[in-house]
Amino acid sequence: MASGNRINMFDNGTIGTGSTTRAPTQAAVKTYVDTATLPLNYVDIDTASPYETSVGYQAGNAATGLGNSFFGYYAGSGATTQNYNTGVGYYAIQQSKGSDITAVGYQAHYLSWGDQNTAVGSGALRGVAGGGASRNVAIGKGANYMGYGNCCSVSVGYNALYSMGSQSGYEFQSFNTAIGQEAMRDTTRGTSNVSLGYQSMSGAQGNSNTAIGPYTLQNITDGNYNTAVGRNAGINVIGASSSNVFIGYNAGPSTATTISNQLYIDNASGTPLIFGDFSTNRVGINRIATTYNLEVQGTAGKTDGTTTWAVISDERLKDIDGKLEYGLDEILKLNTVRFHYKENNPVGMDSEAPQMGVIAQDIMTVMPEAVSMRPDGYYDLNVDPIHWASINAIQELNNKCEMTKDQMAKIDQRISRNERDIASLKIENDNLKKENAAIKAYLCSKDPGASICK
């Protein structure tokens, strides 16, 4: 504080008016040679600089700036030409070189040299000598403690953002938000991260990550653009894992691994309820999708009462290359079987449920287009060619049925003609019987002893 007319109040209640020209070591009632002998509860109001207020031993001792207020033992004692600072607490803003600072607590903003900071709590934004941390908010004991060259960061909670900027070569880290006890506590480098929850991202290194929930995303060492929501979400992701999304309690791999561009939605680690791969645009339900855009482990159902999926089939969008040649002959060559997938099969197929279908190797010899090889060397089956061949087979059978109907109609016609002929012959036969009977009666009347009459 600059020399001038001042009022000094001591803890014994004595009040003096003082002289108009004296050094800060002088008092109105008693002259002190050694400043160490000043009472601890020392109030020094400099009336020559009406915008300066200091309360406490050596508080604001060297300050010559405007609008500063220092309350506490050595509060602001090292500040010189800075303006508009408020320091409350033992050693608050003690060595600070910045302006527009509000610091409340033991060694709050103790060494930081930046401007426009707010530090509340013991050791909040304590800083490193020479560091230029500016436009930060640190609330809580040890919040943004190192704060060497941080800019525009918010830390709320005990030891939140404690170590940021302490790694050599990464002193100037900015735009981080850490809320929660020890959130980003051991993180030494990274920008534009958001961490919310106890020890969320504590120790993680990287940029533009979002972690919400206790212990989330703790172990990445050089990861960027990750999002983790839920207790322990992404906790087993390590190394340079980037661009991942983890949603749910324990969501993520069950063992430590480095992954990128993946989605895990679940409430347990391991195989997720919903998996996604942003790099290949694949989605898996209850499985890790490795081959198709959509993979489902288990059954699937539709609620609209149908069992089919719609696919666009407008003639205006198609160039017709010819008629499908597969038909009844090919269908008759197919063999259907009942089976189970082998236990512990390498593609993760359910080995418990009974299955029915065909064998890919058999289909290959009949309809090669229906079979393809996966990246892992196993065969996949596309049943579409079989479906369309079945249509042709049904049409062929229908044609044969129509031919049989024509043949049967002709046979029916012949039978009808034969029946009419038989009926006519029966009538003729009956008439002949009547005529024969009449002739016999006549002959017997003439010659009863004839052989035909006996």
pLDDT given for residue 159 in this prediction: 98
- Which sign does the torsion angle of CA 387, 390, 395, 401 carry? negative
CB 110 within 8 Å of CB 126:
yes
Tens of pLDDT along 153-190? 999 999 999 999 888 777 788 999 999 999 999 999 99
Residues of the chain under the 70 pLDDT cut: 1-50, 129-130
Measured distance between the N- and C-terminal CA atoms of the chain, rounded to whole angstroms: 170
Tens of pLDDT along 289-331? 988 899 998 888 877 777 777 888 899 999 999 999 999 999 9
**Cα–Cα distances in angstroms (integers) from residue 204 to residues 181, 191, 212, 225, 442, in the given order:** 15, 12, 13, 12, 132
CB 158 within 8 Å of CB 140:
yes
CB neighbours of residue 393 within 10 Å: 18
User: For 315, phi and psi rounded to 5 degrees?
Assistant: -60, -30
Report the C-alpha gap between 339 and 316 in whole angstroms: 42
pLDDT given for residue 129 in this prediction: 67
pLDDT given for residue 301 in this prediction: 80
Greatest CA separation found in the chain?
A: 190
Report the C-alpha gap between 311 and 323 in whole angstroms: 20
pLDDT given for residue 118 in this prediction: 96
Report the C-alpha gap between 211 and 251 in whole angstroms: 12
The number of C-alpha atoms within 13 Å of 267 and in the hemisphere containing its C-beta is 0
| Domains of the chain by residue range | 204-317, 328-382, 386-453
CB neighbours of residue 412 within 10 Å: 10
The number of C-alpha atoms within 13 Å of 36 and in the hemisphere containing its C-beta is 0
Report the C-alpha gap between 284 and 271 in whole angstroms: 10
Report the C-alpha gap between 65 and 85 in whole angstroms: 9
